[in-house]
Amino acid sequence: MRFSLKSVAFVLMAVGVCAASPSAGAFTRTSSASSQTFVTPRGEAQNVRFEQRENGAVHIFYDLTSSDPRGVYSVRLEASQDSGATFGIRPQTVTGDAGDGVRPGPGKRIVWDSGKDVERVQIDRFRFRVIATGGPLQVEPSPPAGPAIAASVIEVETTPTGAAITVDGALRGLSPLKLRDLSPGVHTFTITKSGYEGASRTLVVVPGKDDRIQVELPVQPMTPPPSASSIAAPKGGGKGKWIAIIGGVAAAGAVAAASGGGGTKPPPPPPPPIQCSFSLDPNPRTFSRGGGVLPITVNVSPSGCSNPSWTVSSTTPAFWVSLTPASGSGTGGVSVTATTNTGAQREARVTIAGIEATIRQDSGATVCTLGGSFGSDGDPVNSTRTSVPGDCAGCGARRFTVTATDAACLNDLTVEGMPVWMSASLSPPSSGTRVLNFLVAQRNLTGAARSVNLGLRTLATTTNGPTITISQCAGGCR
């Protein structure tokens, strides 16, 4: 049996509790050769926050501050599942910046495989605190008592590097490490690193003589689960008990032994639960500027998996988008609603069933393309040029029907370039068009033909509209 998580993948800011090192005092070690003074630096885990990711992993982030940038700390993680009232959980299955040898700095991370330590994580009720305990650091050597003796340099090298080095029970730093303050005599070195087997070495420090310790740390082996043959029935008949460790969970039962020794084979353990996998269709979704409702389907596979429940949350909250329902189980749907967009293109990110989805909406700015044509009163249809006689006033009435790719653009339509010898008017919008009525108001007394180019414009973002050319002859031409 394996554990699964009820809540999935949404980010919360933790009310983290940080503990400084309880020891801030100094202690002194003195030998016949020299005297050294050490202090325990103060450290504090700040800005603790966490998020739950796929496969039940919880990532805890923190910044480790220190009164001494050379400080080295032992970091442990504690958890509360009652919103911080008590911190009774000690996560064991952790990796990252935890354990011995953690140096100060921002952006530290601990990864907790929570499914191996607890049965269920209700992430909205969980809180974490990070406790950092500092090891002693050298401040400065005291003046030597007696004749000066050359300091011995002891180098500690490990494979891999970054192992915590403890000398005589005091943490001194991470490998590779050079020590110049060890007093003459016997010293015990302990080398540890998370994920590797520890090692211990003893060294006799001789005044004025340098020395080196080189250690290769073997990787900690994985402990395989016991085979069925290793679950032995009790000897001597009667009934006994068997216990097996399967996937980190103890399973026990009775073993009936035949009279006179031996026993029956225990029943096979139940199969481990099948973990659920989620997918979204489609991801992402794009809305037009008018908004509306669009569905997203949550697919769960395989059929019969152990925990098909899922939740919905806003990773990047946006007032213009909403989602329903807030949770579900198994294959289902989520309705995404977007309001009308009157501005630039926008997007929001949401988390559905542990998967981040991007919701986009097109720009709300209107883009117009204008067009149109003359009527069929003597001028070619769709022509943008017409001519009128020049020997009359009040003649040459014409009309031009204006169209647009978006009918809203016609509301603020204007005519540009109108001369004094002409007049024009626009009809109200009707069925997505407007009619431009114009009239040559004066006779042409200039003795030469004249013409004008009328332009159509709208206040909305637009391409140039058609240019309407009106010509008036010098006489009675047609």
Note the residue count of the chain: 478
d(CA 15, CA 129): 8
Give residue 430's pLDDT: 84
Residue 336 has pLDDT above 60, yes or no: yes
Give residue 153's pLDDT: 93
Mean pLDDT check: name the lowest of 26-40, 182-196, 300-314: 26-40
Give residue 13's pLDDT: 34
Please state, rounded to an integer, the average pLDDT across all residues of the chain.
Answer: 76
Q: Most confidently modeled of 121-125, 298-302, 359-363?
A: 298-302
Residue 145: pLDDT band by 50, 70, 90 thresholds?
low
Give residue 193's pLDDT: 92
Greater confidence (160 vs 148) lies with: 160
Express the helix, strand and coil content of the chain in percent, nearest 5 each: 5, 50, 45
Tally Cβ neighbours within 10 Å of residue 43: 27
H-helix or E-strand spanning residue 297 = strand 292-301
Dihedral sign for Cα atoms in the order 418, 424, 425, 430: negative
Residues of the chain with pLDDT > 90, as a percent, come to 13
Residue 440 has pLDDT above 80, yes or no: yes
d(CA 420, CA 423): 7
H-helix or E-strand spanning residue 15 = none
Tell me if the pTM is above 0.75: no
Backbone angles phi, psi at 287, to 5 degrees: -100, 150
Query: Among residues 144, 96, 115, which one has the least CA distance to residue 7?
Result: 115
Structure tokens at 235: 């000897």
Give residue 37's pLDDT: 56
Give residue 20's pLDDT: 35
Residue 373: pLDDT band by 50, 70, 90 thresholds?
confident
Tally Cβ neighbours within 10 Å of residue 291: 17
Q: Position of tokens 């204007």?
A: 414
Give residue 375's pLDDT: 65
Give residue 231's pLDDT: 47
Those residues whose C-beta lies under 8 Å from the C-beta of residue 358, and which sit 6 or more positions away, are 283, 284, 347, 348, 349
Mean pLDDT check: name the lowest of 79-88, 257-266, 324-333: 257-266
What is the rounded average pLDDT of the residues 224-250? Answer: 45
Residues of the chain with pLDDT > 70, as a percent, come to 75
Give residue 166's pLDDT: 94
Instruction: Tell me the pLDDT tens digit for each residue of 341-359.
Output: 877 788 888 888 888 888 8
End-to-end CA distance of the chain: 97
Backbone angles phi, psi at 23, to 5 degrees: -110, 125
Residue 269: pLDDT band by 50, 70, 90 thresholds?
confident
Q: Would you list the DSSP string of 27-48?
A: EEEE-SS-EEEEE---EEEEEE
Q: Position of tokens 């402990």?
A: 223
Those residues whose C-beta lies under 8 Å from the C-beta of residue 79, and which sit 6 or more positions away, are 87, 89, 90, 91, 112, 126, 127, 128
Q: Most confidently modeled of 2-6, 182-186, 377-381?
A: 182-186
Q: Counting beta carbons within 10 angstroms of the beta carbon of residue 432, is it exposed (0 to 12), middle (13 to 18) or buried (19 or more)?
A: middle
Give residue 120's pLDDT: 74
Nearest-Å Rg of the Cα atoms of the chain is 41
Greater confidence (48 vs 122) lies with: 48
Instruction: Tell me the pLDDT tens digit for each residue of 207-229.
Output: 889 999 999 999 988 766 555 44
d(CA 330, CA 303): 9
Q: How far is CA 235 from CA 252, 265, 268, in A?
A: 18, 13, 21
Longest dimension (CA), the chain: 137
Domains of the chain: 11-138 (no CATH), 149-216 (2.60.40.1120), 277-361 (2.60.40.10), 367-472 (2.60.40.10)
Helix (H, G, I), strand (E, B) or coil at 257: strand
Those residues whose C-beta lies under 8 Å from the C-beta of residue 476, and which sit 6 or more positions away, are 389, 390, 391
